[in-house]
Structure 1
Amino acid sequence: MYRVMIRFLSNFVNRIDAKGRVSVPSSFRSILVSADVQDLYCFQDFVFPAISVGGPELLARLERRIEVADPFSPEANRMSLLVHGGGVFMKLDQEGRLMVTDFIRNFTGITDHVAFVGRGDHFQLWRPEAWETAREAAREGLGR
């Protein structure tokens, strides 16, 4: 039997309010609610100037990858440094907004708008202009 998996899909740009909060797109919030995600694990992406966001399972998946490596290897140490040292837990407020903290702003360059980008089992927070540039580079890389 085929089981349908709910995924974070599409992209949205939302404005940050005067208090530094941004509304998470309703389709993304619905996925978080259906998965009963209370705490959002957020980490600085390994490749892009973006913050990757998911539930605790995202952190667990990354930790499983670290666990299979030699604990003294440079790869395991680099992964732990990025996964643990470059990650935080955050919560949405009652209205489904996320606080755009210095942790997010300093890494991404986000100022007054946030691009929410679906990445399957998680989503990312981008500076909208950086997202457009990365999307075009990805399209060119696929030969289109």
Structure 2
Amino acid sequence: MGRFLSHATNRIDSKGRVSVPAAFRSVMAQGNIQDLYCFQDFVFPAISVGGSDLLERFERQIAAEDPFSPEANEMSLLIHGGGVFMKLDAEGRLTVTDFIRDFTGISDEVTFVGRADHFQLWQPKEFQAVQQRAREERRLAGKRSS
């Protein structure tokens, strides 16, 4: 399967829909991803989006824990309580719901960010700031891409 790579910013239309980048739709088609599992990212103010395999991966982690442990309960709160299923419409658009807007601060544009096996929805200026901060932290640590 292909990977979700790069990033692109698209405008939200008057009906609250945004076109998913063609490259991302192509990866979804390759992986036969039709139902999108969307969850509130654990670290960033972003919505992470992938196929049902992404949810299943988290559920395997929960199943490996004692079901009454704090770890299992916290993980379930995050991936079940902070997740929804969505679908693209026939034109490859995603509806930007309050679930997305409230968590990310997205208003009129969405930045789609590839994360290999899934992608994320970001408020554009927030993505730019976080990416720049990460680049600067790596530079200061003397880490370079090779």
TM-score, normalisation: structure 2: 0.93
CA distance in 1, matches of 2:65, 2:124: 35
Contact 2:2 2:30 in 1 (8 A): no
Matches within 5 A, 1:51-130: 51-130=47-126
1:143 deviation in Å?
1.9
TM-score, normalisation: structure 1: 0.95
Counterpart check, 1:131 vs 2:127:
yes
Matches within 5 A, 1:39-50: 39-50=35-46
Q: Which runs of 5+ in 1 are unaligned?
A: none
CA distance in 1, matches of 2:137, 2:55: 29
CA distance in 1, matches of 2:2, 2:28: 10
Matches within 5 A, 1:30-45: 30-45=26-41
Q: Which runs of 5+ in 2 are unaligned?
A: 141-146
**For each residue in 1:33-89, what CA deviation from the matched residue of structure 2 results, as whole angstroms up to 9, or x when unmatched?**
111111000000000000000000000011111111221111111100010000000
**For each residue in 1:75-116, what CA deviation from the matched residue of structure 2 results, as whole angstroms up to 9, or x when unmatched?**
111100010000000000000000000000000000000000
Partner of 2:139: 143
Aligned-partner residue type, residue 20 of structure 1: G
Aligned-partner residue type, residue 63 of structure 2: E
CA distance in 2, matches of 1:139, 1:67: 36
CA distance in 2, matches of 1:121, 1:66: 20
Identical columns (%): 68
Q: Over the residues paired in the alignment, what is the CA RMSD in angstroms? A: 0.8
Aligned-partner residue type, residue 95 of structure 1: E
1:14 deviation in Å?
0.3
After TM superposition, what 4+ stretches of structure 1 lie above 6 angstroms from structure 2? none
